Amino acid sequence: MTVAALGAYLHVHWEAIKQALLEGRYRPKPVRRVEIPKPDGGVRKLGIPTVVDRFIQQLVLQVLQRRWDPTCSEHSYGFRPGRSAQQAVAHAQQYIAEGYGTVVDLDLEKFFDRVHHDRLMSRIATRVTDKRVLRLIRAYLNAGVMENGLVSPTEEGTPQGGPRSPLVSNIVLDDLDREREQRGHRFVRYADDANIDVTSERAGRRVLRRLTTFIEQRLKLTVNRAKSAVAPPKERQFLGFSFTSGPEIRRRIAPHALARFKQRVRTLTNRNRGRSMETVVEQRAPYLNGWGGYVGFCQTRSVLQGLDSWIRRRLRCVIWTQWKTPRRRITELSRRGVHGDEAVSTAMSSHGPWRLSHSKAVQVAVPTAHFTTRGLPRLDVMVCR
């Protein structure tokens, strides 16, 4: 069933579903396993619920959210009303500016796959007394996973992909937040991504050692020792950002986020695909708007200006390749304001598209306005002021 078909389905079947929920008879379906590649290699396993189960999870989530959110730590920003990843990054930046120049970067290994069901249910039961609701939540945890047509039981973990997963991260890790508050740590958490800022590497290693013991013994989770580290903030990334060093701490786009973006743009602007520039821009604009809307929170506008220039150069390569023959190239260059020997020498050049895309003739023929009028977003105008 598609999301679009849900309304009509509920119109017919909601009373029966509601009665099953009230009588404790409702049984969720197994989630469908979907794997998506991780940026740093490997795959992330998602569990996609049926549309009806997703709808019911959302109902439960909205009630639980109201009960948990008011008591969550002020240092927790993930999946909470009125809070965002950008606010979390700004909070971390504030700590660094205050002199906490070493970061403890804690990575929880396969967090959602390792959530302890009994511990999670005991936490929920402290605020939910209706046993029907508790049984329903337990049923979702134990619904199983369908992969290649076979259903496997789930004895631990809560698959990412359903509405309940974000709230689960806040419920499970609330104890960790309280522990860090009691120890006086300067920390910021977004879901299972957390940084603690300290004044020295020695203090950072002590914090990492003690929190690792707490997480593994009390929360029954696993710290990824290979990915966790104690380092200067400029050497680590937090939610796609890192920070400059020096007297003025500024937010910048993390190197790995830049590399991922460039690789995606290379794929989207493959010169071997025969499409009009309008089509190319129309298909790429949503990605550029979404990415730019997020990383525009950086404070290094020159980086976004450089990316804008690089994207336009990639698109000029596409146009140059589409012109194909020297005769067509001379005609197009001349028609667009490049005359005489310059049009001929550029069209007859033995240099490749990438080099020629940076030539004066091609930039005159295909100026920045050519892409702007076709709806290509400008990343540099999205930057946080």
193-243, pLDDT tens digit by residue? 889 999 999 999 999 999 999 999 998 899 999 999 999 999 999 999 999
Residue 376, number of CB atoms within 10 A of its CB? 21
The pLDDT of residue 40 is above 80: no
Beta-carbon contacts of residue 125 (< 8 Å; ≥ 6 apart): 134
Residue-wise pLDDT for 178-187, tens only, equals 999 999 999 9
More confident residue, 56 or 166: 56
Taking Cα atoms as reference points, which of 194, 199, 197, 152 lies closest to residue 176? 194
In 260-384, which ranges are E strands? none
**Residues 112/157, Cβ–Cβ less than 8 Å:** yes
Beta strands 31-37 and 145-147 are parallel
- Cα–Cα dist 318/311, whole Å: 11
**% of the chain residues with pLDDT over 70:** 97
Parallel, antiparallel or unpaired: strands 229-231 and 193-198: unpaired
Could you tell me the end-to-end alpha-carbon distance of the chain, in angstroms, rounded to an integer? 44
184 three-state secondary structure? coil
Q: Which helix (H) or strand (E) holds 253?
A: strand 251-253
C-alpha span between 285 and 373 (Å, rounded): 13
Residue 241 DSSP SS3: strand
Mean pLDDT of 337-355: 94
pLDDT interval class at 38 (50, 70, 90)? confident
Residue 176 has a CB neighbour count (10 Å cut-off) of: 23
Query: What Å distances lie between residue 262 and 145, 253, 310, CA to CA?
Result: 35, 13, 9
- pLDDT value for 272: 62
Q: Which pLDDT score, from 0 to 100, does residue 273 have?
A: 61
Please say if the pLDDT value at position 304 is more than 80: yes
Query: Distance (Å, rounded) from C-alpha 90 to C-alpha 258?
Result: 19
> Does residue 85 contact residue 128 with C-beta atoms inside 8 Å?
no
- Position 131 scores a pLDDT of 93
Please say if the pLDDT value at position 23 is more than 60: yes
> Do 196 and 100 meet the contact criterion of CB atoms below 8 Å apart?
no
Tell me what pLDDT residue 190 has. 93
Mean pLDDT of the chain, nearest integer: 91
pLDDT at residue 97 is higher than 60: yes
- At 247 the pLDDT is 84
H or E segment at 229? strand 229-231
Task: Provide the strand spans (E) within 91-214.
Answer: 102-107, 145-147, 150-152, 186-190, 193-198
Residues 6+ apart with CB under 8 A from 213: none
The total number of residues shown for the chain amounts to 385
- pLDDT of 159 above 80: no
Span 250-301, pLDDT tens digits: 999 999 999 999 998 988 887 666 677 788 888 889 999 999 999 999 998 8
Give the residues across from 252 on adjacent strands: 242
The pLDDT score that the predictor gives to residue 45 is 83
Check if the beta carbon of residue 31 is closer than 8 Å to that of residue 47: yes
What pLDDT does 12 receive? 97
Q: CB-based contacts of 94: which residues, under 8 Å, 6+ apart?
A: none
pTM of the model: 0.85
* Neighbour count for residue 65 (Cβ, 10 Å): 18
> How much is the pLDDT for 111?
86
Q: 32 - beta bridge partners?
A: 48, 146
- Which of 29-38, 230-239, 341-350, 367-376 is least confident? 29-38
Question: For 199, how many CA atoms within 13 A lie in the half-sphere containing its CB?
Answer: 3
Contact 304, 382 (CB under 8 A): yes
pLDDT at position 274:
62
Question: Is pLDDT of 385 > 60?
Answer: no
Q: Packing angle between helix 164-182 and helix 201-218, nearest 10 degrees?
A: 130
